[in-house]
Amino acid sequence: MILALAGGVGGAKLAHGLARNIDPSELVIAVNTGDDFLHLDYFICPDLDSVLYKLAGINDIERGWGIRDESWNFMESLKKVGGEDWFQLGDKDLATHIERSRLLSEGQTLSEVTRALCRKHNVVHTIVPMTDHRVGTIVDTQEGDFFFQDYFVRLRCEPAFTGVHYKGMEDATPSPQFSKALESADLKAIIFCPSNPFVSIDPILNVPGVTGALRTTETPVIAVSPIIGGQAIKGPAAKMMAELDLPVSPLGIAQHYGGLIDGLIIDNEDRMLVGPIMATGIDAYATNTLMRSAEDESLLAQETLSFVRGLSGNRP
The residues of the shown chain that bind ligand GDP, judged by CB under 6 A, are 7-11, 13, 47, 50, 194-196, 200, 224-226, 228, 232-235, 237, 289-291
Considering beta carbons, is residue 118 or 227 the nearer one to ligand GDP?
227
Q: Give min distance, CB of 315 to ligand GDP, in A.
A: 25
Is residue 214 within 8 Å of 190, Cβ to Cβ? Answer: yes
Considering beta carbons, is residue 103 or 241 the nearer one to ligand GDP?
241
Report the greatest alpha carbon distance in the chain.
61
Q: Give min distance, CB of 252 to ligand GDP, in A.
A: 12
Considering beta carbons, is residue 35 or 262 the nearer one to ligand GDP?
35
| Residue 53: CB atoms within 10 Å | 22
Considering beta carbons, is residue 174 or 194 the nearer one to ligand GDP?
194
If you write DSSP's letter for every residue of 174-195 in order, what string do you get?
Answer: B-HHHHHHHH-TT--EEEE-SS
Backbone dihedral angles phi then psi of residue 212, each to the nearest 5 degrees:
-60, -45
Considering beta carbons, is residue 43 or 103 the nearer one to ligand GDP?
43
Q: Give min distance, CB of 16 to ligand GDP, in A.
A: 11
Is residue 270 within 8 Å of 249, Cβ to Cβ? Answer: yes
Burial of 277 per CB tally in 10 Å (0-12, 13-18, 19+) = buried
Q: Give min distance, CB of 186 to ligand GDP, in A.
A: 26
Q: Give min distance, CB of 158 to ligand GDP, in A.
A: 16
How many Å apart are CA 84 and CA 171, to the nearest integer? 31
Contacts of 110 (CB under 8 A, 6+ apart): 33, 45, 48, 104, 129, 131, 132, 175
Considering beta carbons, is residue 6 or 22 the nearer one to ligand GDP?
6
DSSP SS3 for 51: helix
Q: Give min distance, CB of 248 to ligand GDP, in A.
A: 11
